[in-house]
Amino acid sequence: MRDIQISIENQPAIKIVAGTLVRDLLPAKAPNGLDVLAALVNNEVVSLNHPLVVNAQIAPLTLADNHGWRVYRWSLGFLLAMAMRAMAPSTPFRIRHSLGNGLFCSVKWSETDSVIPLAARVTRIEHAMREIVSRNLPIEPELHSYEDALSLFAETSQTDTINLLRHRNPPHVALLRCDQFLDLLHEQPIVHRTGLLPLFQLVPYEAGFVLDMPAVETPTRVAPFEPQPHLFHVYQEHAAWGRILGVSTVGQLNETVVNKQVDDIIHTSEALHEKKLAAIAATIASHRPTIRLVLAAGPSSSGKTTFAMRLVSHLRVNGLRPIVISTDDYFVGDEQNPRDDQGKLDYEHIESMDLARLNHDLLELLEGREVHLRFFDFRTKTGHDRPKPTRLGAQDVVIMEGIHCLNPQLTAQVPRAVKFLIYVSALTQLGVDRHNRISTTDNRLIRRLVRDDQYRGHGALSTIQRWPSVQRGEKRWIFPFQHLADATFNSALDYELAVLKPFAVPLLDQIKPSHPEYAEARRLTGFLHNFLAIAPDIVPGNSILREYIGGSQLKY
């Protein structure tokens, strides 16, 4: 057996025998006292069971690291599935979506269970999970033939996993075993022992429960669960759309591709968007003449721009004449723009907007006076007055979209009564399988990767590098205000990742192991490989998806 060189956290390299497991080289605890959950090996996130076969740089991961936190969350899903299999193998459940810092899980309770109080049912599940944790069972990878893997999952009625495998043809299948429980080994590694998962709690919520866990910022305790009924309603609405489509997992979506039924999925998905747009427009029209200003906000790549343009058409159908104003035209320019803690220009800060000028122009419009609206020249980074004045007529309504549009500070001088606030999000209900959800943040990041390459000249490496800053801005400037919205629009399309896959994977492949962003690129690439590709030519020309892949009939 040959020797290889390993450097742990940039310490001098040591020689070891190839095939040594990562766990044999790393301590159980990091210097901060937290459990080591996984590791970065040449900028790839791996399990502590990972065998080292080439020269490598290694760094331990804990709950205080974003990658380690994701390992922990994915591992809790495995733990929950194992507990449910042991105590109620015939009870269907599903990890649905994030809610606060936790994950909302739905359960189809039996008639016998339904007579027991919900809190007692949830407590029983939590006890089963904690019993598995107390046994500190090993979680180990196994290789099985393709046919054997299908048989094993058939024996345990894991049909969603079978559906996922049905459209693959590997010579063997990697599984994870813990005691008698087997699961597919996905692109995201998990912990190597159940004893590493003590920090969680199950909180009864609606007809299911929230699997709550620590935050990266507070890795030694479970973050208190805070109900978010507004956001929960949006997810539930999209889950209902999934039932209409008959597609709730990637395997089911792939089945429609193979059976040449995906056209129906696309047309129905887009029709559901049209129905929601029509309902929002009708609500606005029903509150005329009071409502004069429509404000749409949402996080990066949530589809705000296309939403606003399509809403214009629906408002016209209701007899209104929309005037669109871009918040981007009210940037103050680099000389006055706030800077972040590192001294870099912070374009997501609300004071990057000329708030005084924006409020002045809006008030003048609402009073019926002519206004020379502003426009911002991004080439020279300067603002100018438009030569042609604008006046708001009796049937006119102003539409503005931007990340700050729900923040009362943006339009502080405009009376609340004349404003209608809309939160645009991209909250997918699709899951990889019943206990492996699709992150809505990943969905938006993949959209942005494709758009930035198509229209902004930014490669995948640059987009991923900037993403943490974007997320920090969202947490500060967008998410705290989402509950103020008068309406919500979920821009997610359950077929979109299959369309984005052939655009995104070649971009992600350009990120190499020498880049720190390689871990994220590898994870996203592995995730996208679950999807069978859908050709973009069948995407409607006015679809929100066209904002990212191009070919839109709308003018941006």
Once rounded to an integer, what is the mean pLDDT over residues 512-527? 95
Once rounded to an integer, what is the mean pLDDT over residues 456-477? 91
Q: How confident is the model at residue 394 (pLDDT cuts 50, 70, 90)?
A: confident
- pLDDT tens digits, residue range 5-34? 999 998 899 999 999 999 999 999 999 999
Q: Fill in the DSSP letter of residue 93.
A: E
Q: Which two tokens stand for residue 544?
A: 């929100």
The CATH number corresponding to 68-232 among 3.30.70.600, 3.40.50.300, 1.10.3720.10, 3.30.980.10 equals 3.30.980.10
Among 50, 491, 23, 518, smallest CA distance to 303 is for: 491
Once rounded to an integer, what is the mean pLDDT over residues 289-296? 95
Alpha helices in 35-145 (DSSP H): 66-87, 111-114, 118-135
Please, which residues have CB within 8 angstroms of residue 75's CB and are 6 or more apart in sequence? 37, 190, 191, 196, 197
Helical (H) or strand (E) element with 301: none
The domains of the chain are located at 3-62, 68-232, 246-549
Report the C-alpha gap between 483 and 408 in whole angstroms.
Answer: 12
Would you state the torsion angle of the CA atoms of residues 132, 137, 140, 143, taken in this order, to the nearest 10 degrees? Answer: -70
**Domain 246-549 is classified in which CATH homologous superfamily?**
P-loop containing nucleotide triphosphate hydrolases (3.40.50.300)
CA angle in degrees (0–180, nearest 5) for 447-311-366: 120
- Greater confidence (156 vs 129) lies with 129
Q: Mean pLDDT for the chain?
A: 93
Report the C-alpha gap between 35 and 193 in whole angstroms.
Answer: 11
Please, which residues have CB within 8 angstroms of residue 204's CB and are 6 or more apart in sequence? 118, 119, 122
Q: What sign for the dihedral angle of Cα 243, 246, 247, 251? A: positive
Instruction: State yes or no: pLDDT of 530 exceeds 90.
Output: yes
| The pLDDT value given to residue 318 | 95
Helix (H, G, I), strand (E, B) or coil at 246: coil
- Greater confidence (163 vs 191) lies with 191
**Domain 3-62 is classified in which CATH homologous superfamily?**
Beta-grasp domain (3.10.20.30)
Once rounded to an integer, what is the mean pLDDT over residues 119-145? 96
The number of C-alpha atoms within 13 Å of 240 and in the hemisphere containing its C-beta is 9
| The pLDDT value given to residue 512 | 96
Once rounded to an integer, what is the mean pLDDT over residues 513-541? 95
Once rounded to an integer, what is the mean pLDDT over residues 403-408? 95
Once rounded to an integer, what is the mean pLDDT over residues 101-108? 92
Once rounded to an integer, what is the mean pLDDT over residues 458-485? 92
Report the C-alpha gap between 483 and 497 in whole angstroms.
Answer: 28
DSSP string, 177-221: EETTEEEE--SS---SBGGG----EEEEETTEEEEE--BTTBTTS
- pLDDT tens digits, residue range 420-449? 999 999 988 899 988 888 999 999 999 999
| The pLDDT value given to residue 235 | 85
* Main-chain phi, psi angles of 454, to 5 degrees: -70, -40
Among 429, 431, 439, 403, smallest CA distance to 520 is for: 439
| b/e per residue 535-546 (b: at least 16 CB within 10 A) | ebeebbebbbbb
Helical (H) or strand (E) element with 228: none
- Which amino acid does the sequence have at 44? E
Report the relative pairing of strands 374-377 and 382-385 from DSSP bridges.
antiparallel
| The pLDDT value given to residue 81 | 95
Spacing of C-alpha 118 from chain mean position: 29
- pLDDT tens digits, residue range 347-383? 889 999 999 999 999 999 999 999 999 999 888 889 9
Secondary structure in 3-state letters for 446-468: HHHHHHHHHHCCCCHHHHHHHHH
- pLDDT tens digits, residue range 309-354? 999 999 999 999 999 998 989 999 998 999 988 888 888 899 999 9
Q: How confident is the model at residue 514 (pLDDT cuts 50, 70, 90)?
A: very high
| The pLDDT value given to residue 35 | 98
| Residue 465: how many other CB atoms lie within 10 Å | 16
DSSP string, 461-512: HHHHHHHHHHHHHHHHHTGGGGGG-SEEEE---TTHHHHHHHHHHHHHTTS-
Once rounded to an integer, what is the mean pLDDT over residues 261-271? 95
| Max CA separation in the chain (angstroms) | 83
Instruction: State yes or no: pLDDT of 415 exceeds 90.
Output: yes
- Greater confidence (286 vs 168) lies with 286
Q: What sign for the dihedral angle of Cα 275, 419, 348, 552? A: positive
Helix (H, G, I), strand (E, B) or coil at 316: helix
Report the relative pairing of strands 3-8 and 56-61 from DSSP bridges.
parallel
- pLDDT tens digits, residue range 229-254? 888 888 888 888 888 989 999 999 99
The number of C-alpha atoms within 13 Å of 339 and in the hemisphere containing its C-beta is 7
| Residue 470: how many other CB atoms lie within 10 Å | 18
- Greater confidence (68 vs 347) lies with 68
| The pLDDT value given to residue 80 | 97
Among 181, 227, 189, smallest CA distance to 81 is for: 181
For residues 60 and 417, is the Cβ–Cβ distance under 8 A?
no
| The pLDDT value given to residue 460 | 95
Instruction: State yes or no: pLDDT of 556 exceeds 80.
Output: no
| The pLDDT value given to residue 4 | 92
